[in-house]
């Protein structure tokens, strides 16, 4: 539960102590130690006690904090002007009593699921004793929670960038419906897909932060009995080429939910089989990233991660006609899937098809690209379909983290969070 039981200063000092640990290397692009201590002292001296008074939090490096440069994980933006004001999300967190410890590391421009960063270092996945990726693009965000530096953090999710690192690091990650939280003050990648999201250890904590930063108040949430709940398990596309530990953990999770009373129904979604062909000559994200970033990176290619800038500039090959065709077909597929899922309470799939690979295993451009495509595959389905989703840890203790994706059609964020509470309890 997100509650500070001591003083704000004690909570902040403990968080900063953990942030100093060797395991936290490269988690932050910038820390706000002085500001956080000052905020904690002010909080302790004030009679005002907002609901999350003195709770430490971290913010992804693509979110504006007044007076600081928003770098979005790149050196290209580092010499730019500081933000004139906080992103609304930051103001909402401040008013609720959270204390921001700093900006968390990320994939450059949030444009990869791997989580490596050649400019600010690469956060290591705490679930392993050797150097595995944490997943991206919200890599530092996930590690800041996995190491218990903070109980919760803010990330962004364009194609899985909250849920993927949550799954690979063994924590919970929530992506609300596109548009549920304003993107004002968040450095853009894709105008059609960017979403602010929340990472934490529990569903309840994700829900609590969502209620603080969402644009509109939500509906009453209930954690229902699973008896009679119908869960569709997607059998095509997202279950292709699963790594054996992922398949075992996913099957065991479905069995546990069935034992708790849920009806597990295998389901084919032929619509999602179209996604690779629809994106054969480039994705909607690539096209929108090119529009947003071409003037930022052109002439500065040598200062960028070559694996990222190549994808950004590759978006220029997507013609306006091809881009429009993708968007139009996307709308048709969204409507078709929504109708097909109407008989179910939610749909399930592995969040990521593999466990976190070694950083060395994705070092070559070819290996990086192949891993990025596979790691993104499942999570991007939800973004493409305009839905909301949460990743719950579902691996056995002592094994590599695996995430269970629970998703619904867009606009059902509160229903999803309520159901996810019940599912998390059943998973133990």
Q: Is residue 96 part of a domain?
A: yes
Name the pairing type of β-strands 195-200 and 152-157.
antiparallel
Q: What angle is formed at CA 156 by the lines to CA 119 and CA 27, rounded to 5 degrees?
A: 40
Residues 147 and 258 in one domain: no
Q: What angle is formed at CA 92 by the lines to CA 91 and CA 93, rounded to 5 degrees?
A: 90
Q: Is residue 307 part of a domain?
A: no
Owning domain of residue 383: 230-272+332-421
- Across 66-92, average pLDDT: 98
Residue 1 has pLDDT above 80, yes or no: no
CATH number assigned to the domain comprising residue 109: 3.90.1300.10
Residues 207 and 250 in one domain: no
Residues 249 and 395 in one domain: yes
Residue 143 has pLDDT above 80, yes or no: yes
Q: Is residue 308 part of a domain?
A: no
Instruction: Give residue 268's pLDDT band: very low, low, confident or very high (50, 70, 90).
Output: very high
Going from the C-alpha of 346 to that of each of 304, 343, 417, the distances in angstroms are 40, 9, 11
φ/ψ bin of 20: left (φ > 0), alpha (ψ from -120 to 50), beta (otherwise): alpha
Residues 195 and 241 in one domain: no
297: phi then psi, degrees, rounded to nearest 5: -100, -20
Q: So what's the pLDDT on residue 330?
A: 98
The percent of residues in the chain predicted with pLDDT above 90, rounded, is 98
Whether residue 352 contacts residue 380, with contact meaning beta carbons closer than 8 Å, is answered with: no
Cross-strand partners of 197: 155
Tell me the per-residue pLDDT of 334-390, one tens digit each, with 9 for 90 and over: 999 999 999 999 999 999 999 999 999 999 999 999 999 999 999 999 999 999 999
Instruction: Give residue 292's pLDDT band: very low, low, confident or very high (50, 70, 90).
Output: very high
Instruction: Give residue 4's pLDDT band: very low, low, confident or very high (50, 70, 90).
Output: confident
Whether residue 65 contacts residue 100, with contact meaning beta carbons closer than 8 Å, is answered with: yes
Residues 247 and 391 in one domain: yes
Whether residue 131 contacts residue 177, with contact meaning beta carbons closer than 8 Å, is answered with: no
Residues 79 and 155 in one domain: yes
Q: Is residue 298 part of a domain?
A: no
Q: So what's the pLDDT on residue 219?
A: 87
Active centre residues (catalytic): 60, 137, 161
Helices (H), 241-305: 244-259, 275-278, 284-297
Q: Is residue 344 part of a domain?
A: yes
Residue 66 has pLDDT above 90, yes or no: yes
CA gap 379, 238 in Å, rounded: 9
Kindly tell me the sign of the dihedral angle through the C-alpha atoms of 191, 92, 223, 203. Answer: positive
Tell me the per-residue pLDDT of 21-62, one tens digit each, with 9 for 90 and over: 999 999 999 999 999 999 999 999 999 999 999 999 999 999
Whether residue 118 contacts residue 99, with contact meaning beta carbons closer than 8 Å, is answered with: no
407: phi then psi, degrees, rounded to nearest 5: -135, 155
- Across 204-221, average pLDDT: 96
Residues 16 and 118 in one domain: yes
Residues 118 and 254 in one domain: no
Q: Is residue 290 part of a domain?
A: no
Structure tokens given for 320: 């306006």
Instruction: Give residue 5's pLDDT band: very low, low, confident or very high (50, 70, 90).
Output: confident
Residues 49 and 184 in one domain: yes
Q: What angle is formed at CA 130 by the lines to CA 400 and CA 134, rounded to 5 degrees?
A: 60
- Across 243-262, average pLDDT: 98
Residue 209 has pLDDT above 90, yes or no: yes
Q: So what's the pLDDT on residue 407?
A: 98
Residues 94 and 191 in one domain: yes
CA gap 127, 170 in Å, rounded: 7
CA-nearest of 166, 31, 154, 17 to 96 is 154
CA gap 404, 225 in Å, rounded: 19
Give, as one character, the DSSP assignment of residue 263: E
Residues 182 and 144 in one domain: yes
Q: Is residue 316 part of a domain?
A: no
Residue 313 has pLDDT above 80, yes or no: yes
Cross-strand partners of 408: 388
Residues 258 and 132 in one domain: no
Cα dihedral 311, 316, 317, 322, rounded to 10, equals 110
The percent of residues in the chain predicted with pLDDT above 70, rounded, is 100
406: phi then psi, degrees, rounded to nearest 5: -115, 120
Q: Is residue 343 part of a domain?
A: yes
CA-nearest of 308, 235, 299 to 266 is 235
Give, as one character, the DSSP assignment of residue 315: G
Number of domains comprising the chain: 2
CA gap 158, 384 in Å, rounded: 9
Q: So what's the pLDDT on residue 137?
A: 98
């Amino acid at each position: 539960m997100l509650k500070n039981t001591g003083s704000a200063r004690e909570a902040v000092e403990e968080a900063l102590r953990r942030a100093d640990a060797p395991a936290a290397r490269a988690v932050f692009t910038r820390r706000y130690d002085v500001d956080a201590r000052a905020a904690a002292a002010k909080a302790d001296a004030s009679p005002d006690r907002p609901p999350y008074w003195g709770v430490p939090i971290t913010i992804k490096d693509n979110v504006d904090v007044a007076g600081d440069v928003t770098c979005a994980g790149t050196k290209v933006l580092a010499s730019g002007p500081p933000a004139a004001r906080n992103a609304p999300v930051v103001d909402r967190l401040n008013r609720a009593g959270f204390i921001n410890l700093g900006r968390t590391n990320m994939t450059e421009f949030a444009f990869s699921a791997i989580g490596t960063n050649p400019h600010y270092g690469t956060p290591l996945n705490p679930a392993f004793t050797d150097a595995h990726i944490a997943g991206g693009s919200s890599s530092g965000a996930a590690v800041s929670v996995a190491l218990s530096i903070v109980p919760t953090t803010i990330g962004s999710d364009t194609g899985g960038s909250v849920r993927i690192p949550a799954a690979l690091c063994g924590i919970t990650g929530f992506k609300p419906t596109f548009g549920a939280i304003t993107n004002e003050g968040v450095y853009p990648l894709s105008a059609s897909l960017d979403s602010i999201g929340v990472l934490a250890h529990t569903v309840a904590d994700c829900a609590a932060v969502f209620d603080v930063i969402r644009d509109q108040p939500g509906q009453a949430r209930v954690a229902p009995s699973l008896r009679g709940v119908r869960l569709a398990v997607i059998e095509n596309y997202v279950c292709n080429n699963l790594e054996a530990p992922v398949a075992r953990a996913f099957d065991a999770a479905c069995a546990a939910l069935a034992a708790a009373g849920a009806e597990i129904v295998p389901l084919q979604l032929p619509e999602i089989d179209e996604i690779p062909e629809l994106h054969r000559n480039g994705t909607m994200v690539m096209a929108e990233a090119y529009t947003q970033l071409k003037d930022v990176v052109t002439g500065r290619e040598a200062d960028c991660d070559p694996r990222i800038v190549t994808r950004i500039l590759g978006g220029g090959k997507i013609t306006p006609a091809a881009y429009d065709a993708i968007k139009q077909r996307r709308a048709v597929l969204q409507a078709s899937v929504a109708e097909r899922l109407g008989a179910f309470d939610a749909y399930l799939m592995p969040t990521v098809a593999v466990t976190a690979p070694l950083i060395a295993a994705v070092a070559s451009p070819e290996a990086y690209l192949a891993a990025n495509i596979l790691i993104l595959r499942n999570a991007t389905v939800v973004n493409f379909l305009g839905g909301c989703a949460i990743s719950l840890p579902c691996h056995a203790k002592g094994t590599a983290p695996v995430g269970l994706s629970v998703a619904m059609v867009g606009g059902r964020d509160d229903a999803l969070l309520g159901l996810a509470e019940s599912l998390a309890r059943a998973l133990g």
